[in-house]
Amino acid sequence: MVFGDTDAVPTGRGTMGSSSVQVAGIAVDDAAIAMLERARSLAADELEANANDLVAVAGGLQVAGTPAKSISWAELAGAAERLDGQPLMVTANFEAPGPTFPFGAQLAVVEVDTETGESRLVRLVAVDDAGTVINPELFEGQLHGGYAQGVAQALYELVQYDRDGNLVTGNFADYAIVTAAELPSFDVVDSQTPTPYNALGVKGVGESGTIGSTPAVHNAVIDALAHLGIRHLDMPVTPERVWRAIGATHA
């Protein structure tokens, strides 16, 4: 795996736009398939077997059902140099024929203390469709991180300056970031609709959690205050902003 070395990687678009799995991942998948095909061809010569009868196993290839007829990856690398005069290496490029779009819906439940203005997230339910899920644990972890960022944007994180233009929230004592203590357990449901634009059917999941949780939490606070006639609050909905908005309704 090579990161950011333009001497080794001809082109690269980075990891923006939730594109790691659906772009780089597909290129890796294509390269793995090409490598397996080349390895089968080499192994067929070395083992005097039909390439179609060869299967990948831990450490190399073997004739299906015949563990005694096997060859290691190290031996295959040597065979490539000896037979082809080339290292055991393949190259694969992938260009998506079209964009993929993950979908989702989120529901937030909050409690607002009208005396102090403090808002607390009680529950967050989310349904996310990012196509085929390759690794369920990483998929859910990616979403959990996104949910936390969205909650922080909606309730806590504020870049604030004084009248002279000096930043007054320049450290973690003044700039409120969310911690596990402020977060409930998330209810996550995955709905897998594979995309037709790549062989694995994967879509991006890097941004879905944040995009949905921010407005869900913000709107939940507004809904909790709707009976007071409050229809809008700037984000983040800090206790001071909520408290002042409630006070304005009593003026």
Least confident stretch, 16-20, 110-114, 165-169: 16-20
| pTM metric for this prediction | 0.81
Average pLDDT over residues 81-108: 90
Residue 169 sits in which domain range? 103-250
Q: Based on the domain organization, do 90 and 157 belong to the same domain? A: no
Average pLDDT over residues 182-204: 92
Read off the pLDDT of residues 66-85 as tens digits, 9 standing for 90 and up: 999 999 999 999 999 998 88
Q: What percentage of the chain exceeds 70 in pLDDT?
A: 95
Check residue 250 and give its pLDDT. Answer: 81
Q: Based on the domain organization, do 13 and 129 belong to the same domain? A: no
Check residue 10 and give its pLDDT. Answer: 67
Q: Based on the domain organization, do 114 and 234 belong to the same domain? A: yes
Q: Based on the domain organization, do 160 and 243 belong to the same domain? A: yes
3-state secondary structure the chain: CCCCCCCCCCCCCCCCCCCHHHHHHHHHHHHHHHHHHHHHHHHHHHHCCCHHHEEEECCEEEECCEEEEEEEHHHHHHHHHHHHCCCCCCCCCCCCCCCCCCEEEEEEEEEECCCCCCEEEEEEEEEEECECCCCHHHHHHHHHHHHHHHHHHHHCCCCCECCCCCECCCCCCCCCCCCHHHCCCEEEEECCCCCCCCCCCECCCCCHHHHHHHHHHHHHHHHHCHHHCCCCCCCCCCHHHHHHHHHHHHC
Q: Based on the domain organization, do 165 and 240 belong to the same domain? A: yes
Residue 163 has pLDDT above 90, yes or no: yes
Read off the pLDDT of residues 207-235 as tens digits, 9 standing for 90 and up: 889 999 999 999 999 999 999 999 999 99
Q: Based on the domain organization, do 130 and 242 belong to the same domain? A: yes
Q: At 109, give phi and psi (nearest 5°).
A: -120, 125
Number of other residues whose CB lies within 10 A of the CB of residue 115: 8
- Which pLDDT band holds residue 12 (cuts at 50, 70, 90)? low
Number of domains in the chain: 2
Instruction: Tell me if 90 sits within 8 A of 53, measured CB to CB.
Output: no
63, two tokens = 């004739």
